[in-house]
């Protein structure tokens, strides 16, 4: 009898808890942003009969409730730990790897999507036939550390994907394959364990590969110094997977021994700074924003000291966030770097390159970002 009474009390308490959660959703204003996951949260959907009948309203309501439920971060963490305890290998596309390493699953895009992406890049090259154009495809940590993937993990072959892209570019755009060189440095911290990006050291080695494959002067490691600016970095993979008890990463910064004075102009925001680094981000959840302050539509970075007897060397860097920590190195060979993120850039890219007297173009993406970037496919509309 006492067992039945105890069960009734547990059921009543559970129902009361659910009622409180529902009441909280109804009366509490929606949160707009998750600092932990570094993303915008779903807002309360507007009701309409057509959306209700089609099922769209129900799906939107479910996403809103999942994002706005009280104690969401704790529930995400509990779910991830339970998944790992019962033998699950991943959560939300992130594998629980060996050595406290989180690795993103790579799924290559469809042949149709890849064809459209390649067509966009080749179209831009055809509009600017006198400019050297290269594409650096950065592997993710799963491509460099396959031995850290859990047993039976499914992740497409990144080396084969990079070779396929090189074939489709047909020599008109040079594919810079850095995978082999990064594998040779795999015993060094070239990728974060809790984030999907490579570290600045990984970017340095990739830059060195780009130099050698495009016929430029090799880098000299002795010209650069290393400094740890944070030892408590948790990245996007950590937030996505929900394994919140993992040890943090360190952020290492590599700078020239002889400092390079720069002017950084954020064109859309109308702001000008004198540094590639934003130290205030080290006090925030998104510490990777230390590099460039995140992603902007267009940055124009100019070296203040230029050789007056030489023509200015201008690079157009079309990129996603993997490039943010490489710009320090690219400044060795260029007086100006025009940094474009096509996710936010609204202008005609070919026309911009002409107007800015660009001398060389570099596309820099990780393999996942490259496969998913719809804006690259829209380059076929350039004129």
Strands 298-303 and 336-340: antiparallel
Does residue 361 form part of some domain? yes
Mean pLDDT score of the chain, rounded to an integer?
A: 88
176 and 54 co-located in one domain: no
62 and 201 co-located in one domain: no
Expressed as residue numbers, the domain containing 45 is 24-70
Tell me the CA distances in angstroms from 335 to 143, 307, 310, 316, 326, one per residue in order: 33, 9, 10, 11, 15
Does residue 157 form part of some domain? yes
138 and 43 co-located in one domain: no
203 and 332 co-located in one domain: yes
Confidence band, pLDDT 50/70/90 cuts, at residue 11: low
58 and 122 co-located in one domain: no
Does residue 291 form part of some domain? yes
Radius of gyration of the chain (CA): 24
Q: Look at residues 157, 176, 156, 158 and name the one whose alpha carbon lies nearest to residue 166.
A: 176
Does residue 107 form part of some domain? yes
Q: How many separate domains does the chain show?
A: 2
Percentage, residues of the chain above pLDDT 70? 84
- Alpha-carbon gap, residue 282 to 242, rounded angstroms: 21
Write the pLDDT tens digit of every residue in 156-210: 999 999 999 999 998 899 999 999 999 999 999 999 999 999 999 999 999 999 9
Does residue 58 form part of some domain? yes
pLDDT at 59 over 80: yes
Say whether 365 sits in a helix, a strand or coil. Answer: strand
Tell me the CA distances in angstroms from 139 to 159, 180, 206, 251, one per residue in order: 8, 10, 10, 19
40 and 167 co-located in one domain: no
51 and 142 co-located in one domain: no
Confidence band, pLDDT 50/70/90 cuts, at residue 10: low
Does residue 200 form part of some domain? yes
Does residue 8 form part of some domain? no
pLDDT at 295 over 90: yes
39 and 125 co-located in one domain: no
271 and 317 co-located in one domain: yes
- Alpha-carbon gap, residue 224 to 73, rounded angstroms: 40
49 and 115 co-located in one domain: no
172 and 245 co-located in one domain: yes
58 and 202 co-located in one domain: no
Residues 6+ positions from 299 with CB-CB distance below 8 Å: 264, 265, 266, 267, 292, 337, 338, 339
Percentage, residues of the chain above pLDDT 90? 68
The answer to whether the beta carbons of residues 255 and 286 sit under 8 Å apart is: no
Does residue 313 form part of some domain? yes
Write the pLDDT tens digit of every residue in 20-58: 545 555 556 766 666 555 657 777 788 788 877 788 878
Number of separate helices (H) and strands (E) present in the chain? 14, 15
């Amino acid at each position: 009898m006492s067992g039945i009474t105890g069960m009734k009390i547990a059921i009543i308490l559970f129902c009361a808890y659910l009622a409180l959660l529902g009441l909280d959703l109804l009366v509490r204003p929606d949160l707009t942003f998750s600092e932990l996951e570094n993303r915008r949260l779903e807002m309360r959907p507007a009701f309409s009969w057509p959306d209700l009948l089609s099922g769209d309203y129900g799906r939107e309501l479910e996403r809103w409730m999942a994002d706005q439920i009280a104690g969401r971060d704790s529930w995400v963490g509990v779910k991830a730990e339970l998944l790992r305890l019962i033998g699950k290998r991943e959560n939300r596309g992130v594998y629980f790897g060996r050595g406290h390493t989180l690795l993103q699953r790579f799924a290559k895009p469809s042949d149709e999507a890849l064809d459209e992406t390649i067509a966009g890049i080749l179209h831009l090259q055809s509009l600017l036939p006198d400019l050297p154009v290269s594409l650096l495809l950065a592997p993710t940590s799963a491509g460099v550390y396959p031995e850290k993937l859990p047993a039976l993990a499914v992740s497409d072959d990144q080396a084969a994907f990079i070779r396929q892209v090189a074939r489709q570019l047909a020599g008109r755009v040079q594919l810079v394959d850095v995978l082999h060189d990064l594998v040779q440095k795999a015993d060094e911290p070239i990728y974060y364990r809790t984030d999907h990006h490579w570290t600045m050291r990984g970017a340095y080695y990739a830059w060195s590969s780009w130099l050698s494959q495009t016929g430029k002067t090799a880098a000299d490691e002795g010209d650069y110094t290393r400094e740890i600016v944070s030892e408590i970095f948790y990245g996007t993979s950590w937030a996505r997977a929900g394994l919140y008890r993992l040890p943090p990463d360190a952020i290492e910064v590599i700078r020239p021994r002889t400092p390079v004075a720069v002017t950084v102009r954020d064109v859309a925001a109308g702001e000008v700074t004198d540094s590639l680094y934003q130290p205030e981000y080290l006090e925030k959840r998104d510490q990777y924003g230390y590099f460039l302050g995140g992603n902007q539509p267009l940055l124009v970075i100019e070296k203040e000291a230029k050789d007056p007897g030489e023509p200015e060397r201008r690079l157009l860097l079309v990129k996603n966030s993997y490039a943010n920590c490489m710009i320090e190195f690219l400044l060795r060979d260029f007086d100006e770097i025009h940094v474009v993120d096509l996710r936010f850039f609204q202008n005609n890219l070919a026309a911009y390159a002409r107007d800015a007297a660009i001398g060389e173009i570099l596309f820099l993406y990780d393999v996942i970002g490259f496969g998913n970037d719809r804006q690259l496919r829209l380059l076929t509309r350039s004129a």
